[in-house]
Amino acid sequence: MSHRLDKFFDPKRVAIIGASATRGKAGNDVIQNIIANEYKGEIYLVNPRGGEIMGMKVYRSIKDLPQGIDLAIIILPAKLNPQAICDCAARGIQAMVLAAGGFSELNSQGQKLQEELIKVIKETGVRAIGPNTSGHTSTPANFTSSFFPLGKIPKGNISYIAQTGNFATHTMRYIASGEHFGVARVVGLGNKVDVDESDVLEYYSEDPETHAIFIYLESFKDPGRFLEIARKVTPKKPVILLKGGSTSEGAQAAVAHTAAMASDDRIIDGVLKQAGITRIHKYSHLFLVAKALAVMPLPTGNRVSFMAPSGAMLVILTDLCRQRWDLAVPELKPATQKRLQDISPAYIRMRNPVDIWPAALEHGFEFAYAEAMDAVLKDPNIDAVVPILMITDETGVPDLGFIVELAKRYPEKPVFVTFSSQKKHMDSAKEYLETRGVPTYPLIEEPFEVLSILCRCRSLMERRKDSPGE
């Protein structure tokens, strides 16, 4: 299906206006990123000096470019952007990424320059992301316009909309190096003189590569349109949003960041729920929840079983599930309790949550955890399972293949792993499990927080399915 943002997400011919031969400069880093991601299209470089950069011809002027270029990445000082847009439009380029800062987020002079930018965009009819953006990424097209050194960006099914350059830069660098999930599309909106969150959300709604959508916003450019589109998306795809500027101090920071105008946070909270959008309140959840959705299903309910090598963990986590996370820790079916009792010493009474360490001492880590997990995953009273693993040099380092096999055997029930372990073994377990489709979390509370968010998400999505006309 053709879409008006296709030239951003599937460009065949790209021009870099302000290309540089100097390593470390934005105009060079963007070329390095495009090459690192194995972009198959044609690249045209523009710099008044001409010559060659990395073996590619450099055009001295935008006016020298051939017709038929899909997208221009403009890395020029702010004051040169309006003329560059006009020159690109004259060469038939209809999509542009405007990297420069120094517009309305800076001062009144920058505001006037931004108004000139808006006027030129309207007059030429082009589409533009930015300004004050660090670019966008489209892994199905092996493409990024980011000028932050990223290297190869992992492909996946998660897409982001961010009113900050951070997601196209620092956070993507973390995800690529520290996590084991990939992205489909990422857009840093910047100051939103043209392309805004509604445009991108609409594209993602129709995008077969995007299975879940994560959003960071400081303001809504057109709240009515955004919510209208969201109502159509949320019955089909999870939409999870972090809203910045919810306090007066945060709102002031948002204005300084992207010239955002804040709205009443209580009103925002209500209308987001009505639209089926799941709101989060931690920045880290933008990727901790994403890595769960990248490989695991949404839970069908909020009933959780967890097993821990510590009675204190069982107690405090049960309290937190009920008091803070709106998660149920239900009684198990008699057959499940019997199986747990069969693998445990007679002196302990088995129930949910599962005190696993006596069984592990008697039968070994792998047997105890595998049998306990199989029993609770089979139980119709349970929707998700969180094993808390203790792995140390002294207690032994088990083969964790059984966890991968159990996750495959019960594909409708999420399995999130966390640890009370020696750090080096946590890191090894993360590498092993996540590359095989089982997400892990280093802090014991994190999988429960993620599960709580996903339960809310499921509930809001189902409410939208039941009320499509609202």
- Domain CATH number, residue 161: 3.40.50.261
Question: Is 1 domain-assigned?
Answer: no
Of 253, 273, 293, the one marking the end of a domain is: 293
Q: Are residues 385 and 267 in the same domain?
A: no
Question: Do 262 and 303 share a domain, yes or no?
Answer: no
Answer whether residue 130 is part of any domain. yes
pLDDT at 325: 98
pLDDT tens, 410-443?
999 999 999 999 999 999 999 999 999 999 999 9
Residues 273, 265: Cα–Cα separation, whole Å = 13
Query: What distances in angstroms separate CA 315 from CA 311, 319, 336, 420, 423, one per listed residue?
Result: 6, 6, 20, 15, 24
Question: Which residue among 274, 293, 312 closes a domain?
Answer: 293
Does any domain span residue 185? yes
pLDDT at 248: 57
Q: What is the pLDDT of residues 123-161, one digit of tens each?
A: 999 999 999 999 999 999 999 999 999 999 999 999 999
Q: What is the structure's pLDDT at 163? A: 94
Note the pTM of the prediction, 2 decimals: 0.94
Ordered DSSP codes for 257-308: HH------HHHHHHHHHHTTPEEE--TTHHHHHHHHHHHSPPPSSSBEEEEE
Q: CA 212 → CA 85, 86, 291, distances in Å? A: 33, 36, 10
Same-domain status, 159 and 250: yes
Can you give the C-alpha Rg of the chain in angstroms?
Answer: 25
List CB contacts of 316: < 8 A, sequence separation 6 or more: none
Give a yes or no: residue 437 inside a domain. Answer: yes
Within this chain, do residues 172 and 312 fall inside the same structural domain, yes or no? no
Region of residue 104 (phi > 0: left; psi between -120 and 50: alpha; otherwise: beta): alpha
Residues of the chain with pLDDT under 50: 1, 250, 254-262
**Residue of 352, 317, 293, 323 lying closest to 446 (CA atoms):** 317
Residue 153 CA to residue 105 CA, distance in Å, equals: 29
Claim to verify: residue 251 and residue 269 sit in the same structural domain: yes
Assess whether 135 and 150 both reside in one domain. yes
Q: Which positions ≥6 away from 198 have C-beta within 8 Å?
A: 221, 222, 225, 226, 229
Give the CA dihedral 95, 100, 106, 109, nearest 10 degrees: -80
Within a domain: 469: no
| pLDDT tens-digit map of 40-89 | 999 999 999 999 999 999 999 999 999 999 999 999 999 999 999 999 99
Q: What pLDDT sits at residue 337?
A: 98
The pLDDT of residue 50 is: 97
| DSSP-derived pairing of the beta strands 143-144 and 136-138 | antiparallel
Report the pLDDT value the prediction gives residue 252, as an integer from 0 to 100. 57
Quote the CA–CA distance of 28 and 357 in Å, as a whole number: 55
Tell me, yes or no, whether 344 and 219 share the same domain: no
Indicate the number of domains in the chain.
Answer: 2
In angstroms, rounded to a whole number, what is the distance separating the alpha carbons of residues 445 and 195?
Answer: 38
Same structural domain for residues 284 and 343?
A: no
Same domain, 279 and 315: no
In a domain, 465, yes or no: no
Residues 266 and 306 in one domain: no
Domain boundary among 293, 323, 339: 293
- Kindly state the DSSP code that residue 191 receives in the 8-state scheme: T
Domain membership of residue 464 (yes or no) is no
Residue pointed to by tokens 């830069």: 169
Q: Are residues 138 and 19 in the same domain?
A: yes
Can you give the pLDDT at residue 263? 59
Residues 333 and 212 in one domain: no
pLDDT of residue 257: 44
Using a 10 angstrom Cβ sphere, with 0-12 exposed, 13-18 middle and 19 or more buried, the burial of residue 170 is middle
**In the prediction, which pLDDT does 107 show?**
84
Is residue 219 in some structural domain? yes
* Residue 159 contacts residue 272 (beta carbons within 8 Å): no
Residue 253: per-residue pLDDT? 54
- Tokens (6 digits) for 15: 């021009």
Q: Judging by DSSP bridges, how do beta strands 56-59 and 52-53 pair with one another?
A: antiparallel
Q: Which domain holds residue 55?
A: 6-293
Half-sphere CA count of 344, side-chain side, radius 13 A: 21
